[in-house]
Copies of this chain bind each other. A is one copy, B any other.
């Protein structure tokens, strides 16, 4: 039974995404993927060169987009939030602004993002999480210095970046409805900002 090329490719990609999400790259098996996609091992290799290749096809777009941001995040046109004095703003004013910012990027925070960040051990993408954290750390550090140049533990920026990523990942895993995701991510950001401000004030 021959099937349109695109159709089988989609089925394989979909089956692989599921397998990688559940078992991670190393724990996933080609046999499991082709069984889910209802085809054969041999046919898998007509579509993809290797286990890593199909993983790449699942995450390459998001990785590239995210690399682009990594490389250019200083030049990218700013948002309304750039001029906000986070240190003194009322949270009731801040919340809708944050919600709005998250809206802009939420579309990329899907299962492929999870794969890239959480399930890529054993692939060339395995450092993505760290790269993302490093970028956010810089950003956090910038804010910390703006507010309190003498804060004793500037390294905490790295920890908080890591933690924010983890919180976001957790939300993406648990909440699948877009509205819920948006709500939770917004609260997470509020919490993060409030936490940082509180922490910095307290010195």
Seen from chain A, the residues whose Cβ lies within 8 Å of a Cβ on chain B are 26-27, 90-92, 94-95, 121, 152-153, 155-156, 158-160, 162-164, 166-167, 170-171, 174, 183-184, 187-188, 190-199, 201-203
Question: Could you write out 14 A-B pairs with CB less than 8 Å apart?
Answer: A26-B27, A91-B199, A91-B202, A92-B202, A156-B188, A156-B191, A159-B174, A162-B170, A191-B199, A194-B194, A194-B198, A194-B201, A194-B202, A198-B198
Question: Least Cβ distance of A71 to chain B in Å?
Answer: 25
Chain B nearest Cβ from A11, distance in angstroms: 22
Can you add 4 more A-B contacts, CB < 8 Å, to A26-B26, A159-B174, A159-B184? A156-B187, A156-B188, A191-B196, A194-B197
Q: In this complex, what residue of B is CB-closest to A163?
A: B167
A91-B198, A195-B192 known; A174+B158 contact, CB < 8 A: yes
Complex Cα–Cα for A174 and B192 (A): 21
Contacts of A202 in B (CB 8 A): 90-92, 94-95, 190, 194
Most B Cβ at <10 Å: residue of A92, A94, A194, A196 = A194
Q: Quote the shortest CB–CB distance from A178 to chain B (angstroms).
A: 15
Q: Please, which residues of chain B bring their CB within 8 A of the CB of A171?
A: 159
Closest residue of chain B to A170 (Cβ to Cβ) is B162
Query: Which 9 pairs of residues, A with B, have the shortest CB-CB distance?
Result: A194-B198, A91-B202, A195-B195, A166-B166, A163-B167, A191-B195, A191-B199, A162-B170, A156-B187
Residue from A183, A190, A202 with most neighbouring chain B CB atoms (10 Å): A202
For A165, the closest partner residue in chain B by CB is: B166
For residue A95, which residues in chain B have a CB less than 8 angstroms away from its CB? 202
Q: Give Cα A27–Cα B66 distance, bound, in whole angstroms.
A: 28
Least CB distance, A123 to chain B, in whole angstroms: 13
Q: From known contacts A90-B202, A191-B199, A199-B91, infer whether A163 and B155 are also in contact, taking CB-CB under 8 Å.
A: no
